[in-house]
Amino acid sequence: MAESSNPIRKVVIVGGGTAGWMTAAPLALGLARACDITLVESPEIGTVGVGEATLPTLRHYNMALGIDDADFVKKTQATFKLGIEFKDWGHTGNRFFHGFGDYGPEVENGAPHMAWLRLLRDVKDMPPLATFSTAAAMAGANKFTPPFGDAPGACNAYSYAYHFDASLYAAYLRDYAMRRGVTRIEGRIVDVEQHSETGFITAVKLDDGRRIEGDLFVDCSGFRGLLIEGVYQAGYDDWSAMLPCNSALAVPCEKTTPLTPYTTSTAKSAGWTWRIPLQHRTGNGHVYCNSFTSDQDAARVLLDGLDGRALDDPRQLRFTTGRRRKSWIKNCVAIGLSSGFLEPLESTSINIIENSVSWLLEHFPDRDCSPHLADEYNRLLSERFEYVRDFIILHYKLTNRTDSEFWRYCADMAIPDTLKHQIELFRETGRVAIYDEKGFSVSSHLAILLGLGVMPKRYNPLLDKMDPRPLLAHFARVRDVIQNTVAAMPDHADYIAGHVAAPALAA
């Protein structure tokens, strides 16, 4: 295959923060100085930095960059995340856990939850399915150690992610990228120049008169979409009818004990609050719909729920849930908030950035920027947004709460047919439809569906022919292995102190 005679010579990334530097780092590594990479960020735009929760896929992103895990955890004040604890979702007083991992090995070449459903019919005191999740057991005991080796049993039946200070992570990747040749320019963009015939962006102009030319422009400018919307009017699909929350308040507080290895999400009368423990403090926030509560009441709910002294005043964020109709137009690719926004209920924001950068590298163009590459990139990203959207809607739709207008709205709202099919298939047959094999797994859907009270009417009828005694023995073995494995693990705080504690902050 012939080498391109028209290669990209210069990539310009507009905007820093998490999205900008998560884009710059793999481009710097993947392009191996084959072209210049410049990142333009404004010093006027700050970051909240109260704590960010992630999915286990971030480990693979870091690993691909060759980042040392211990160094990263220390430098970003990170802790470990085994999943999310949900409180008061579905009904007040409800509590369940979405863990990173499965519910034990297959049973007779079938899904373990099917065998568990079969036993529910005959076994009066059958434990909840979450009993057979290693991640849930670890979280309940505040234990943590990484999975190791390929040994069978509970020791590798779970995964983990991180909680970290997002501003520290951006700074960490900035240093990584700049060591590999990325040029950082501080300045505020006041104008965008385009080719008179092709409409391609040719340069951005700063308020001090400097011009930054480029062949490919990556828009990491946040909600406003300086290039993708400001220049190309990409359009926006508004999903707020299905995901009505449109506001958030964020505030850090002093850390408290125990240091939990999970995120906590607590449903409130007009939304939900998050709690994200870091090594040096705890990140907190309240996501809500301002049509159902006032900003003042939302702030009160947030501050009243803190388990430590607030370290700042709550910071306000407004958003409209949805996605750009196109995230790649001509020679401009939008990554991060400029491509769309889904609330952080399942920690998917950074994951979508990971996907976006990976797909950009897979479909990296020459200077002509073939529209076929853009079409495929847009298809992949649009589908990913839709799959994540449906998974988040699931949390709201399956509610029995009638204590507020917000929850009554969620119970009655129309939802996508794809999600309706998933819910009804599970309710009727116990089977889980997965549209995105690289997205949330069967185990993740089970945690939410069962946690919100959807109990299947049926299960795989082939299991009726099985003697229930071997099934019971199987689950007893899984439970015993998990209990013994978790009992031998160190406390989460002790593991961090012994292996990855951040250097003491300077006085």
Catalytic annotation, residues: 81
Cα 16 to Cα 85: distance, rounded to the nearest angstrom? 31
Cα 201 to Cα 204: distance, rounded to the nearest angstrom? 8
Contact 309, 253 (CB under 8 A): yes
Strand order across the beta sheet in which 216-219 lies: 183-186, 36-41, 10-14, 216-219, 332-334, 328-329
Asked whether residue 450 is marked as a ligand-binding residue, the answer is: no
Residue type, 251: V
Asked whether residue 16 is marked as a ligand-binding residue, the answer is: yes
What is the bridge-based pairing of β-strands 332-334 and 216-219?
Answer: parallel
Asked whether residue 170 is marked as a ligand-binding residue, the answer is: no
What is residue 388's three-state secondary structure? helix
Asked whether residue 81 is marked as a ligand-binding residue, the answer is: yes
DSSP-derived secondary structure for 168-187: HHHHHHHHHHHHTT-EEEE-
Helix (H) or strand (E) holding 134: helix 134-140
Q: Which neighbouring-strand residues pair with 276? A: 283
Asked whether residue 38 is marked as a ligand-binding residue, the answer is: no
Sorted by sequence, the CB contacts under 8 Å of residue 334 that are 6+ apart come out as 218, 219, 220, 225, 227, 228, 234, 324, 327, 328
Return the closest-CA partner of residue 479 out of 151, 135, 230, 134.
134
Q: Which segments of 325-478 are extended strands (E)? A: 328-329, 332-334, 340-341
Asked whether residue 19 is marked as a ligand-binding residue, the answer is: yes
> Phi then psi for 228, rounded to 5 degrees?
-65, -35
Asked whether residue 446 is marked as a ligand-binding residue, the answer is: no
Cα 318 to Cα 287: distance, rounded to the nearest angstrom? 10
Asked whether residue 18 is marked as a ligand-binding residue, the answer is: yes
DSSP-derived secondary structure for 416-450: -HHHHHHHHHHHHHS----S-TTSS-HHHHHHHHH
Both tokens of 54, joined, read 């992630």
CB neighbourhood size of 97 (10 A): 19
Which residues are part of a known binding site for FAD? 16-19, 337, 350
Binding-site residue positions for L-tryptophan: 346
Q: Binding site for 7-chloro-L-tryptophan: which residues?
A: 81
Positions at the binding site: 16-19, 81, 337, 346, 350
